[in-house]
Amino acid sequence: MNEELEDAFITFIRTQQMSLYLLAYSYTKNEQDALDVVQDSIQKGWLAIERLTNREHMKSWFYTILVRTAIDLLRKHKRVELIGDDALLQLSELDTYRNLDLQQALHHLPLQLREVIVLRYFEDLKIEDVASILTIPLSTAKSRLYKALKLLKIELEMEEDLVNG
């Protein structure tokens, strides 16, 4: 195995561990299951690291592994609830932009729109990577992102109107 690639993978896991846990938790809604998903994903990633052709794509590559591992676990447990509001708010709190109105507006978005926003802006992934992770066409990811941003803007404008009277 390429030692440089191994080091990059280990560094990535260490620096992203909280984001990885919160993303897994947003799917599982259970601390132990989230830890299991992260651990299983790390093991899968380690075993498949040689297939990573471009180190610059490590984040989206690993997020794909993590999301699919979480979904597999949910299928095993026959759970249908995916991203939960609490975990999404925790993810958004990691970002340096701590705006309660934004968090509340995000809370009101439907699941499919929230997960696109979280992956695109709070996890800083390219829209192509978001589509790949969620296994949806790029055009669907773009339309969900556009719709989510439009709804967030409306929600935030309504909040501002209420505050300003």
Asked if 133 contacts 61 with a C-beta cutoff of 8 angstroms, the reply is no
Lowest mean pLDDT among 30-44, 51-65, 137-151: 51-65
User: 163 near 113, Cβ under 8 Å?
Assistant: no
* pLDDT tens per residue, range 66-124: 988 988 887 777 644 444 555 555 554 444 344 556 667 777 788 788 888 888 887 77
Domains and CATH numbers, the chain: 1-82 (1.10.1740), 84-165 (1.10.10.10)
Angle subtended at Cα 6 by Cα 116 and Cα 52, rounded to the nearest 5 degrees: 50
